[in-house]
Amino acid sequence: MGQERKKVIIIGASGGIGRALAGKLSAEGWVVGLTGRSLERLQGLRKELPGETYVCAIDIRDTREAIHQLNNLIMIMRGVDLVIINAGVLFHNLECRWDREEETVKVNVLGFAAMANTAVNYFLQKQSGCVVGISSVAGHRGSGRSPAYNASKAFMINYMEGLRQRLAGTPIRVIDIRPGFINTDMLCDRKSLFGVASTDKAARDIYRAIQKQKRIAYVPAWWGIVMWFFKRLPENLYHWGYRKYAARDNRPRNDKGMA
């Protein structure tokens, strides 16, 4: 009898890193469950993947329904070995609009926690499995342009650390992936970026971190060194540098599209 194929559910698979991860894992022989808000986009992605694929529309803003749908998908797939939580939103919110802050908290905090909690409880029953959360280097410091986003990523980082503490001594793994600048729609209006990585590069690095069962992985890895310094900057110096950086990023482009 052949070896049973590994199964993964990717929450937030319709674009960006999630889409690239779906392609990578499917190519590696995994059975892939795809979730996201847009069933149409998920169905389109399903047609592109080489392996066995399941699709389920899940809106993690509605946590109770999302928990129900995730458990249903796990049952339909007859169990899973890995759950990757990639869904997230980013708003630049200089106007401090509450609707944008609230949306960020609903998706990046409540939605993430609901999906991670559901996955952990399933894996505790199974006594094996791995949860991967896509947080961000943004979780290390605050941001005047997107206060709720950076704070939500800090929540994810600390929540996953708490889960690792809770699961110590068990075979269940929790991996915190902290990407830097990745070439996704979230960065489409940004000009002063550096070290931007492709989604395919990010997917390869994330898959490698999963294989090595790392606790924390920066993507690309050199962001770990950058953030070691950033975390140690005094607040007044950090704010001064961030304002300079934001001012450059907000400058109007010239006719050639250059900052």
Task: List, as own/partner pairs, every contact residues 125-129 make where C-beta atoms lie below 8 angstroms and the sequence separation is at least 24, other chains included.
Answer: 126/79, 127/170, 127/171, 127/172, 128/81, 128/171, 128/172, 129/80, 129/81, 129/82, 129/83, 129/171, 129/172, 129/173
Task: For the beta carbon of residue 189, count every other beta carbon within 10 angstroms.
Answer: 9
* The pLDDT value given to residue 190: 58
Supply the pTM of this predicted model: 0.92
- Domain boundaries, given as residue ranges, for the chain: 7-225
Asked whether the CA dihedral 251, 252, 257, 258 is positive or negative, the reply is: negative
Give mean pLDDT, residues 62-89: 97
Nearest-angstrom CA–CA distance, 70 and 168: 24
- One-letter amino acid of 49: L
Q: How far is the C-alpha of 137 from the C-alpha of 226, rounded, in Å?
A: 9
Distance between terminal CA atoms of the chain?
A: 60
pLDDT at 14 over 70: yes
Cis, peptide link before residue 234, omega less than 30° from 0:
no
| Predicted local confidence at residue 253, as pLDDT | 37
**pLDDT digits 0-9 by tens, 201-230:** 999 999 999 999 999 999 999 999 999 999
Question: What single letter denotes the amino acid at residue 63?
Answer: T
Task: Say which CATH class 7-225 falls into.
Answer: alpha beta
pLDDT in tens, 246-259: 777 665 433 332 22
pLDDT at res. 167: 98
Q: In the prediction, which pLDDT does 250 show?
A: 61
The more confident residue out of 152 and 186 is 152
Give me the sign of the Cα torsion angle 67, 70, 74, 80.
negative
